[in-house]
């Protein structure tokens, strides 16, 4: 049963998940305004854990690094679901940039 309140767009983007005691490199599968799914084999992260999602997007003027606060909503085979735990104006703008990026890359 689908519990998402926002649509998801496909997105394969290398990211880093940073918790209070660990950093893990992984790849996104999809994202929406409320969260994203991360492809990850590392089983050491736990549901409910707070994390930072760190990634770069290439712009005409160079790469720009972004950080989003998120919470691990659930774990599943091959990955985990994140929910954006502190949505604010900066988070919204970053997600809008991601959506533009997917359209530019013909991913959406």
What is the domain range of residue 17? 9-99
Domain CATH for 88: 2.40.10.220
67-74, long-range: CB < 8 A, 24+ apart: 68/94, 68/95, 70/35, 70/36, 72/45, 72/46, 72/47, 72/48, 73/35, 73/47, 74/47
Q: How many domains does the chain have?
A: 1
Alpha carbon distances (Å) from 96 to 14, 89, 91: 18, 11, 9
Residue 86 pLDDT class (50, 70, 90 cuts): low
Residue 7 has pLDDT above 80, yes or no: no
What's the pTM? 0.81
% residues pLDDT > 90 (the chain): 43
- Whether 30 maps to a domain, the answer reads yes
Parallel, antiparallel, or unpaired: how do β-strands 9-10 and 23-32 relate?
Answer: antiparallel
In a 3-state reduction of DSSP, which class is residue 72? strand
pLDDT digits (tens, 9 = 90+) for 35-83: 999 999 878 899 999 999 999 887 778 888 889 999 999 999 889 999 9
Residue 108 has pLDDT above 50, yes or no: no
């Amino acid at each position: 049963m689908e519990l998402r309140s926002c649509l998801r767009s496909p997105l394969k983007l290398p990211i880093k998940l940073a918790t209070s005691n660990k950093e893990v490199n992984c790849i996104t599968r999809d994202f929406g305004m409320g969260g994203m799914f991360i492809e990850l084999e590392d089983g050491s992260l736990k549901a409910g854990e707070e994390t930072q999602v760190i990634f770069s997007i290439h712009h005409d003027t160079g790469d720009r690094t972004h950080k989003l606060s998120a919470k691990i909503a659930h774990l599943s085979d091959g990955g985990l679901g994140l929910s954006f735990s502190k949505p604010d104006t900066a988070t919204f703008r970053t997600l809008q940039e991601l959506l533009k990026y997917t359209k530019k890359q013909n991913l959406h």
